[in-house]
Structure 1
Amino acid sequence: MFSDQLFNYTTLAYFVAMVLFIAYIATKNHTVGLVGTLIAWLGWVLNTAAIGVRWNESAQMGMGHAPMTNLYESFVFFAWSILIVYLLMDLKYKARAVGAFVLPVAVFFMAWGQMMPDHSKAIQPLVPALQSNWLTYHVITCFIGYAGFAVAFGASVMYLIKVGREEKSGGGNTPAGGLLAMFPSTKVLDDINYKAIMIGWPMLTLGIVTGAAWANYAWGTYWSWDPKETWSLIIWFIYAAFLHARFTRGWVGRKAAWLSIIGFGATIFCYLGVNLVLSGLHSYGAG
């Protein structure tokens, strides 16, 4: 299918952008960083086009559902979501080095998707429980939420690396040199962590709400303590605790970075561990 070719080109573009962001840190060449950003935008445009083409291919096959119903489609949409959140952050902060820590997540999922067998990537008719617009709303909001957490994770890893080096080199008062010289300041990294979570947490909240509405439509109950529902609630509380601690106790810096990393670990388990390991109403996502 043509959409598969576009997804392959998307994967290549994201990989090249990732390499260029790493090279930007290594060479300290701002032109390299700019080219990396432009290729990341190109990859996102290709990703968007591929999703649209796959949706049209589904319609031509007599199904017409949004391409967000199996593991493969979730991978490519997750990558799309990560890139748009990252690129919007880049427009504000011009912190291109962050791409070296965020793009690998998108590349990982795109590459995994492209290596899946053809039968796992095939467009399939929806089971009755999935034949609802609530599914589309639920998936979009959840994955944009996950994407916000992915960007926060990348910024948090950078923060811990940079603050650790600065503390070793001069008690926290001396800017880190070498490769870390291209990292944004710890203040900017902490702010990106916070702002990305401020995107992710409300979107996850909407995802849980739309998921409850969808569950009531499909199964006649808003909440059934399915493993995915339970883990989504755990993630919600982790990031709610992050925001509460920041607003009321002034949690910034190292504590905030570690909580963000823990939250993203829980997010990945909710996304993959629950779908692939645990059984429940969301187990179809592994198909």
Structure 2
Amino acid sequence: MSASLFYITFGIYLAATACYMIYLAKPLAQTGKLARWLITGGLAAHVLFTLLRYFEAGHTPITNLHESLSFFSMAVVAVFIYFERKFKIIVLGSFVTPVALLLMLVSSLFPSVISPLNPALKSKWLVIHTVVAFLGYASFAVAFGAAIIYLMQERFLKQRKISGLFQRLPSLDTLDDINYRCLTFGFPLLTVAIISGAIWAETAWGTYWSWDPKETWSLITWFVYAALLHGRLTTGWRGKKAAILAVIGFFVMLFTFLGVNLLMPGLHSYK
């Protein structure tokens, strides 16, 4: 049952992404409304899939790459819906929903079999650490989408292309504000995730920090976003510089999440 819901969710996300892309090309109110209904329905199906998976597995379904990529995708959609409703910018979905869709696609490539839970994962910290981390990651994904649009708009302005797509995208100030709001939402969550992970590590392995590849790259990710936040608050980093750093931070975060698991075996490796 949960497997069917996974692919139903994927199909709805695919349809929603297509609608957002059509809206980007031709912003009709009906298309935008349909896209919003589809992405909301997709999130509902995704939550139901996650709940069913929970009851099938007997634990929170975030213990292998199939589950964690799916959960990451769900978090991206949830955080996107929040910011899309807050700023009322439908076109943001044209740049964020493809990320959620791609995460689901990659998730489908990994085994979905439910395996016995590793003893180290049998802890209350599993939910606290991972859910907080994924919400932080999701906010960085939305910031990434806003940053890509910002860089496009900035380029259009430099080239004096102020018609067509330029007129369908939000203003630079609005995009910069979204970037900042996502950063101030995601960075504290990432900080809590790292701290809770250290506490969990001490109970599981007897040490708060072991410089495991995942720990090291999580710290690198934290420093990237800390530098961006510090720059914005103290030296006035805004606009293009902030957008570029948001893009860099997103790819560093992706490597921390997925690349480390696949390329750097360690205590946190799982497939």
**TM tier, shorter chain?**
over 0.9
Counterpart amino acid of residue 243 in structure 1: L
Q: Map 1:126-205; keep pairs closer than 5 Å.
A: 126-169=117-160, 176-205=162-191
Q: Is the 8 A contact 2:66 2:109 kept in 1?
A: no
1:123 is aligned to 2:114 = yes
Counterpart amino acid of residue 45 in structure 2: L
Q: Map 1:197-276; keep pairs closer than 5 Å.
A: 197-276=183-262
Output the CA distance in 1 between the equivalents of 2:211 and 2:122. Answer: 22
Tell me, what secondary structure is at the counterpart of 2:187?
helix
Output one character per residue of 1:2-52: Cα deviation in whole Å (capped at 9) or x when no partner.
Answer: 111111111111111111111001112122111101100000011001000
Output the CA distance in 2 between the equivalents of 1:81 and 1:6. Answer: 17
Counterpart amino acid of residue 153 in structure 2: K
- 1:76 equivalent in structure 2: 70
> Which residues of structure 1 form unaligned runs of 5+?
59-63, 171-175
Output one character per residue of 1:205-246: Cα deviation in whole Å (capped at 9) or x when no partner.
Answer: 111011111101110111111111011111111111111111
1:16 is aligned to 2:7 = no
Output one character per residue of 1:137-185: Cα deviation in whole Å (capped at 9) or x when no partner.
Answer: 1110111111111100011011000111012117xxxxx3212321111
Picking from 95, 99, 122, the partner of 1:101 is 95
Counterpart amino acid of residue 47 in structure 2: T
Counterpart amino acid of residue 7 in structure 2: N
Tell me, what secondary structure is at the counterpart of 2:217?
helix
Counterpart amino acid of residue 266 in structure 2: G
Output the CA distance in 1 between the equivalents of 2:75 and 2:84. Answer: 14
Output the CA distance in 2 between the equivalents of 1:53 and 1:94. Answer: 32
Counterpart amino acid of residue 235 in structure 1: T
Instruction: Kindly state the Cα deviation for residue 111 of structure 1 after the two structures are TM-superposed.
Output: 1.4
Moved over 6 A (4+): none
Q: Is the 8 A contact 1:20 1:33 kept in 2?
A: yes
- 2:48 equivalent in structure 1: 49
Q: Is the 8 A contact 1:25 1:180 kept in 2?
A: no
Output the CA distance in 1 between the equivalents of 2:212 and 2:109. Answer: 29
Determine what percentage of the aligned residue pairs are the same residue: 44
Q: Is the 8 A contact 2:218 2:256 kept in 1?
A: yes
Output the CA distance in 1 between the equivalents of 2:180 and 2:8. Answer: 32
TM-score w.r.t. length of structure 1? 0.92
Picking from 97, 113, 116, the partner of 2:107 is 113
Output the CA distance in 2 between the equivalents of 1:30 and 1:195. Answer: 26
Counterpart amino acid of residue 64 in structure 2: N
Output one character per residue of 1:39-89: Cα deviation in whole Å (capped at 9) or x when no partner.
Answer: 00000011001000111112xxxxx11111000000110001001110000
Output the CA distance in 2 between the equivalents of 1:223 and 1:177. Answer: 53
- 1:61 equivalent in structure 2: none
Output the CA distance in 1 between the equivalents of 2:64 and 2:108. Answer: 14
Q: Which moved more, 1:105-114 or 1:216-225?
A: 105-114
Counterpart amino acid of residue 68 in structure 1: I
The count of corresponding residues between Structure 1 and Structure 2 is 271
Output the CA distance in 2 between the equivalents of 1:75 and 1:11. Answer: 12
Counterpart amino acid of residue 197 in structure 2: G
Output the CA distance in 2 between the equivalents of 1:197 and 1:34. Answer: 27
